[in-house]
Amino acid sequence: MSLEPLRKKIDSFDSKIVYMLNERAKLSKQIGEAKLKDQISIYSPAREKKVLNHLRTLNKGPISKEALEAIYREIMSSSLSLEKPLRIASLGTQGSFTYIAARKKFGSQVEYVSCRNIPEVFQRVEQGDCDYGVAPVENSVEGAVTDTFDLLVDSELKICSQVLQKISHYLLSKERSLKNIRKIHSNPQVFGQCRSWLSQNLPKADLIMEASTTQAAEIATKQKYSAAIASREAGEIYNLNILEDNLQDIAHNTTRFLIIAKGDAPATGKDRTTILFSIKDKMGALHAMLSPFLQYKINLTKIESRPSKKKAWDYYFFVDFEGHRLDKNVMKALAKLEVMCKYLKVVGSYPVLE
């Protein structure tokens, strides 16, 4: 078939797609009105999971599952904005890794509020200025983001979802040669992820800590002989030259970001729960704390300790496990655990997106 008839077929499909998208949008507005009337959260991680899983079963190609998900991410983002204008707090400005992860989760049709640091992300949501917050919690190379863990101890906010984002680091500067670089700006986690590359290629450069990679990129635009380690997007936004790409020491460098809100998510059948607890100071206390999970056959996926900052050698333990806080076995395990420990807090239950 020649080119023109093929294009006419595409035009016909486009007309149908636009019509169907607008019909879908009308339904989204009705759903938004119903949610507001019943005081239900506009963003539903459980519904998001169901829609994406359903799309995967429908997709027979040639569109890849990643491409189809990206298309529907924007469709769902548009639906959210029709249901209710949403404000999302994220660390750094456009081009930061947190902003990129937030866009991956919520799409482009919601409002993003740039925060100077992680405490501000929490404050914005706690005070009602933003509906949701996005904060990094751990990196596959450098481990825990301590600010986020510490804030989860005292905050009443809950984890309602998560997003995994592959991280690639770029050395950005107004300079055009590595030989001119004397100072490098970025955040501590990023320096940790690029430690070997920096020691081999720029061992004499001063490493200057910034709260976010986009702050680092902005500084690099103003200072001579300076560079930033940030995302490619940050380089484009601030019109910086890419001196080197893929600086990260390990290729499979991924950061886990939490979506925080005033409530967590309902059960979907495939969920994760995060709790924190402190233990009584006696022999075998931590081992005893973990026994209820073994008894009720609950799979632990992560355990992290943080100093309580209230007493020397006193710790909080963060535990992730499979299941929802309202699952029968989970409720039994948590009831036993609560009797045994000094303090127990359920930080949130949220769906595991496949």
Once rounded to an integer, what is the mean pLDDT over residues 253-258? 93
Tokens for 89?
């707090």
At residue 140 the predicted structure's pLDDT band, cuts being 50, 70 and 90, is confident
In what side-by-side order are the strands of the sheet with 183-186?
Answer: 206-209, 183-186, 226-230, 170-173, 241-245
Tell me how far apart the alpha carbons of residues 237 and 112 are, in angstroms, rounded to a whole number: 16
pLDDT for res 238:
94
Which residues, 6+ apart, have CB-to-CB distance to 266 below 8 Å? 46, 324
Task: Give which of 169, 152, 171 is closest to 100, Cα–Cα.
Answer: 169
pTM exceeds 0.75: yes
State pLDDT tens for residues 8-62.
999 999 999 999 999 998 998 888 888 888 888 888 888 888 888 899 899 988 9
**Is 146 labeled as catalytic in the residue annotation?**
no
* CA–CA gap between residue 181 and residue 202 (Å, rounded): 8
The rounded mean pLDDT for the chain is 90
pLDDT score for 292: 93
For residue 272, what are the contacts with CB-CB under 8 A and spacing of at least 6? 162, 301, 320, 321, 322, 323, 349, 350, 351, 352
% of the chain at pLDDT higher than 90: 63
Residues in Cβ contact with 313 at an 8 Å cutoff, skipping those fewer than 6 apart: none
Per-residue pLDDT band for 313 (boundaries 50, 70, 90) equals: low
Over 70: is that where the pLDDT of 132 sits? Answer: yes
Count of CA atoms in the C-beta half-sphere (13 A) of 231: 20
3-class DSSP assignment, residue 92: strand
pLDDT of 312 over the 70 cut: no
Counts of helices then strands in the chain (DSSP H, E): 12, 15
Please give the CATH superfamily to which domain 267-351 belongs.
ACT domain (3.30.70.260)
Please say whether the dihedral angle defined by the alpha carbons of residues 41, 334, 299 and 320, taken in this order, is positive or negative: positive
CATH fold of 170-249: D-Maltodextrin-Binding Protein; domain 2 (3.40.190)
Residue type, 345: K
Tell me how far apart the alpha carbons of residues 29 and 11 are, in angstroms, rounded to a whole number.
27
In the DSSP assignment, the letter for residue 178 is G
Average pLDDT over residues 314-328: 92
d(CA 285, CA 262): 32
Pick the more confident residue, 65 or 354: 65
Q: Residue 83: its pLDDT value, please?
A: 80
Kindly name the residue from 97, 149, 191, 257 that is annotated as catalytic.
257
**The pLDDT of residue 309 is above 70:** no
Phi and psi torsions of 280, nearest 5°: -75, 140
Q: Does the pLDDT value for residue 310 go beyond 80?
A: no
Residues 276, 334: contact at Cβ < 8 Å?
A: no
Instruction: Please state the rounded mean pLDDT for residues 195-211.
Output: 93
Over 90: is that where the pLDDT of 281 sits?
no
The pLDDT assigned to 354 comes to 57
39 contacts: CB under 8 Å, gap ≥ 6: none
CA dist 147 and 140 (Å) reads 17
Catalytic annotation, pick one of 93, 255, 268, 274: 255
Is-contact 159 264, C-beta < 8 A?
A: yes
CA–CA separation, 162 and 272 (whole Å): 10
Measured distance CA(281)–CA(308) in Å, rounded: 13
- Name residue 278's beta-bridge partners: 316, 343
**For residues 346 and 272, what is the distance between their CA atoms, to the nearest angstrom?**
11
Does residue 144 have a pLDDT over 90?
Answer: no
pLDDT tens digits along 101-127: 999 999 989 999 999 999 999 999 999
Return the number of other C-beta atoms located less than 10 Å from residue 59's C-beta. Answer: 14
Q: For residue range 153-162, what is the model confidence (pLDDT) as tens digits?
A: 989 999 999 9
Q: What is the pLDDT of residues 222-236, one digit of tens each?
A: 999 999 999 999 999
Percentage of the chain lying above the pLDDT 70 cut:
96
Per-domain boundaries in the chain:
170-249, 267-351
pLDDT at 311: 63
Q: For every residue of 138-177, which 3-state class applies, written as one string?
A: EECCCEECHHHHHHHHHCCCEEEEEEEEECCCEEEECCCC
pLDDT at 37: 82
Digit-coded pLDDT (tens) for 238-247: 999 999 999 9
Q: Is 213 a catalytic residue?
A: no
User: Which amino acid is residue 226, in one-letter code?
Assistant: S
Residue carrying structure tokens 């093929």: 6
